[in-house]
């Protein structure tokens, strides 16, 4: 059960191990951004490529879907960024339960956006947790976990790729332990739980009153989607890459003609940038065709 690109490596590993995949659940096809055609999810496409049966219900919360899943009668259900909460009455329909690949070191960052929130928060490490799905959001006992370092060069896209590959390896290890009845699940310390709420439009707007490192972390967390932006001449201009520079000035203004921007403590040097409807550009190329001169206020 999975939907985005993040879930594809796990499906590939399951296929490589020649496990009997009786059904693949994914989100329904939807219209593309331009609305010209219907697009299937990455997991849907990968499943079809390998001649797997695909089921894409709009919701699981009805009697028809309950009966459908009951008829499938799986030994084990694997969940990776499926995009729907598994109803409680489903949980006993899989003989050995529902096992989830979660992209954080639980109990930290339960919820919809663990990768983005870990970068925004300036965490030094994150990782993958293989957990049993129970009632409650990402609160079930953990079977396996492994951590990786977050450095300043990692954005959401790069870190997501690393974690998806790590998760695909760990789930095979988990299935082997379950198959041999050697799986051990440890309860989470719920007192240490943090919540990774879904990214909203408020998270996207850059607040120059924040420290420079915080703004760089925001930019990294929202790359490649949806992007962090500031306003200039009533346009939302997105910054895709930046670095901290040890300079100070009036907050929210440019300190030179090359998009060095003052923040609360230091400044950030913009490296990659994009105007609405235009391509992403290196800052030097961007400024050849669009001037943001020294002392411009970016509000």
Give the pLDDT score at 31.
Answer: 86
Give the pLDDT score at 270.
Answer: 99
Is 106 known to sit in a ligand binding site?
yes
Going along the chain from its start, the domains and CATH numbers come out as 5-196 (3.40.50.170), 201-289 (3.10.25.10)
| Paired sense of beta strands 98-102 and 125-132, if any | antiparallel
Is 139 known to sit in a ligand binding site?
no
Give residue for tokens 């439009």. Answer: 201
CA 273 – CA 49 distance, rounded (Å): 36
CA 130 – CA 293 distance, rounded (Å): 50
Give the pLDDT score at 35.
Answer: 66
Is 36 known to sit in a ligand binding site?
no
Q: Which two tokens stand for residue 157?
A: 């896209």
pLDDT in tens, the chain (299 residues): 999 999 999 999 999 999 999 999 999 999 877 667 899 999 999 999 999 999 999 999 999 999 999 999 999 999 999 999 999 999 999 999 999 999 999 999 999 999 999 999 999 999 999 999 999 999 999 999 999 999 988 999 999 999 999 999 999 999 999 999 999 999 999 999 999 999 999 999 999 999 999 999 999 999 999 999 999 999 999 999 999 999 999 999 999 999 999 999 999 999 999 999 999 999 999 999 999 999 999 98
Is 276 known to sit in a ligand binding site?
no
């Amino acid at each position: 059960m999975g939907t985005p690109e993040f879930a594809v490596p796990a499906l590939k590993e399951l296929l490589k191990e020649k496990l009997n995949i009786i059904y693949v659940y994914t989100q329904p096809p939807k219209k593309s951004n331009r609305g010209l055609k219907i697009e299937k999810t990455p997991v849907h496409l990968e499943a079809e490529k390998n001649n797997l049966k695909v089921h894409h219900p709009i919701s699981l919360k009805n009697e028809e879907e309950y009966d459908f899943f009951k008829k499938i009668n799986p030994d084990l259900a694997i969940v990776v960024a499926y995009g729907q909460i598994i109803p409680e009455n489903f949980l006993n329909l899989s003989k050995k339960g529902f096992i989830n690949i979660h992209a954080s070191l639980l109990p930290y960052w339960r919820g919809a956006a663990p990768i983005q929130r870990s970068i925004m928060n300036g965490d030094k490490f994150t990782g993958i947790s293989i957990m049993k799905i129970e009632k409650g959001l990402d609160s079930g006992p953990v079977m396996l976990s492994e951590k990786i370092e977050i450095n300043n060069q990692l954005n959401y896209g790069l870190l997501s790729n690393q974690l998806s590959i790590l998760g695909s390896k760990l789930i095979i290890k988990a299935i082997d332990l379950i198959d041999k009845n050697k799986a051990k699940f440890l309860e989470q310390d719920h007192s240490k739980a943090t919540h990774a709420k879904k990214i909203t439009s408020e998270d996207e707007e850059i607040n120059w009153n924040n420290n420079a490192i915080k703004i760089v972390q925001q930019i990294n967390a929202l790359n490649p989607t949806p992007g962090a932006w500031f306003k200039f001449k009533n346009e939302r201009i997105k910054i895709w890459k930046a670095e901290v520079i040890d300079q100070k000035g009036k907050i929210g203004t440019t300190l030179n003609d090359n998009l060095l921007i003052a923040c609360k403590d230091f400044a950030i040097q913009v490296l990659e940038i994009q105007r609405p409807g235009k391509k992403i550009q290196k800052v030097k190329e961007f400024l050849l065709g669009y001037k943001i001169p020294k002392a411009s206020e970016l509000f």
